[in-house]
Amino acid sequence: MSPAEKFVVGIDLGGTAINYTFLDERGQFLIDGLHEHPSRSVEGPAVCLGQIADGLAYAAGHVGVSLAHLTAVGLDTPGPASATGMLSQRGSTNFVHPEWSGFDIRGGLEERLGLPVTYLNDGNAAALWGHVSIFGSENEATSVSAIIGTGLGGGVITSGRVVTGRNGFGGELGHVLIPYTAIPGIEGLVPHCNCGRTGDLESLCSLTAIRRTLLPHFLAKHPGHSLAAEADIGMAAKLVRSLAERGDEMCREIFRVQARALGLFFDEMINVFDPDALIVGGGAIEADESFRTWFIEEIRAGMPAQRQEQIDLPIRIIPNGDTAGARGAALDAARLVRERGL
C-alpha cells in the first residue's frame, strides 16, 4: 500500500473486545488476524467511543498507515439496534450502562471521528464478509448465512448488499420457526428461546440452546457421561464442541441436532430466496476440517428432498471467522465510499 493510498476501517465492537481491520482501495485487508483490545462498553458511551478512537490510532500505527487517508468507518455491534445504529431503549446484554439506552452509536462515533460511519449488526457484518469471500464485492448473487454463537445471528445478502429491512431487523434468522419435531432424537423436547418463541432456530442451534435445552436432555439419557459430573452446566456446555470434535457419541448427537435444525431452516430459506449459496459461521464450528465436513453433511441430511436444481447448492464455512465482523464492517464502509465517490 502506497503512503497516499486511501483506506477504510472496520470496527467490531463486542461485549468483551474491540477488533479492527483496514481495507485499502485495491480490496486488500491490511491485517490478517485479530487486532483487538478489551472493550469498556460497560462504562458507557463517552468512555467506549473515546476508547475506539484511541484504539483506531494505535491500530493504524501498528499497520503503518496514516489516519489522514482514512475515508470512512464501518462499525458493527451486537443487537438489538435499528438499521441506522440506534440502540434499543431496553438496553442489551452488551450495552448495560443506562446511557446506552436509545443511544445513536453510529452517529456518536461519526461525531467523535469526524468521518462518515456505516452500521451493521454483528451477524449481518459476518454474513457480508462470508458472501464477499465467495462471490467478490461486485456480484449479483444471493446468499443466506447462519452464524452460530451464544445466540444465532446471520444475514441475507443480495447483489453485495445486506438486507436490513425497514427497522434493521432483516436477517434476524435465529427467530425463524422451524418444524423441529421432524428432527430425530429429541422426541418430547419443547425448545424455548429467550425471545419468547418456541421452536425457532436459535432455540436449538446456539450455545444457549446447548446449555438450556440440549445438554440437559441428552444427559438425562446418558447419566453416566463425564459431563454429568460437571457442576456448572454453562461450563459443561462449552466443552460439548471439543468433545464432539474428538468423536464423543453423545456430544456428536447434540451437534447432529443443531445441524439438522439448520437443514430445516435452510430449506425454508431456499423456498424464499432461491440463493446461490448457504453459509455457516461462528465459534461453534471453528473446528478441524473433518468435523466441519461432517457437520455440513448433517445439514444436508436435515434438508427435505429438494428440486434437482438445488441438490448441488453449495454450503460454505465463513473463512477467518474471528475477524468476520470487522471485515464485513469494512466492506460496508467501502460500499459507502464507492457510492459517494469519497
Which residue bears the cell 446468499? 143
Q: Is residue 123 domain-shared with residue 17, that is, in the same domain?
A: yes
Q: From CA 165, how far away is CA 256, in angstroms rounded?
A: 32
Q: Is residue 151 domain-shared with residue 231, that is, in the same domain?
A: yes
Q: Which CATH number fits the domain that encloses residue 16?
A: 3.30.420.40
Q: Is residue 118 domain-shared with residue 162, that is, in the same domain?
A: no
Q: Residue 1 pLDDT > 60, yes or no? A: no
- The grid cell for 155 is 444475514
If pLDDT is split at 50, 70 and 90, which confidence band does 82 have?
A: confident
- The grid cell for 77 is 455491534
Q: Is residue 14 domain-shared with residue 100, that is, in the same domain?
A: yes
Residue 202 has a pLDDT of 94
Range of the domain at 243: 135-319
Residue 172 has a pLDDT of 83
Q: What are phi and psi of 76, to 5 degrees?
A: -130, 145
Q: Residue 241 pLDDT > 60, yes or no? A: yes
Q: What are phi and psi of 14, to 5 degrees?
A: -100, 180
Q: Residue 113 pLDDT > 90, yes or no? A: yes
Q: From CA 184, how far away is CA 204, in angstroms rounded?
A: 13
- The grid cell for 156 is 441475507
- The grid cell for 289 is 476440517
Picking from 340, 323, 291, 293, the residue whose alpha carbon sits closest to that of residue 22 is 323
Q: Is residue 149 domain-shared with residue 118, that is, in the same domain?
A: no
Q: Is residue 77 domain-shared with residue 146, that is, in the same domain?
A: no
Mean pLDDT is lowest, of 68-72, 87-91, 180-184, for 87-91
> Is-contact 146 201, C-beta < 8 A?
yes
Q: Residue 2 pLDDT > 90, yes or no? A: no
Count of structural domains, the chain: 2
Q: Does a structural domain hold residue 236?
A: yes
Q: Name the average pLDDT for the chain.
A: 91
Mean pLDDT is lowest, of 31-40, 60-69, 128-137, 178-187, for 31-40
What type of residue is 219?
A: L
Q: Residue 93 pLDDT > 70, yes or no? A: no
Q: Does a structural domain hold residue 1?
A: no
Side-chain-side CA neighbours of 299 within 13 Å: the count stands at: 22
If pLDDT is split at 50, 70 and 90, which confidence band does 247 have?
A: very high
If pLDDT is split at 50, 70 and 90, which confidence band does 92 have?
A: low
Read off the pLDDT of residues 283-313 as tens digits, 9 standing for 90 and up: 778 888 999 999 999 999 999 877 777 778 9
Q: Does a structural domain hold residue 2?
A: no
Q: Residue 191 pLDDT > 60, yes or no? A: yes
Q: Residue 76 pLDDT > 60, yes or no? A: yes
Chain centroid to CA 14:
11
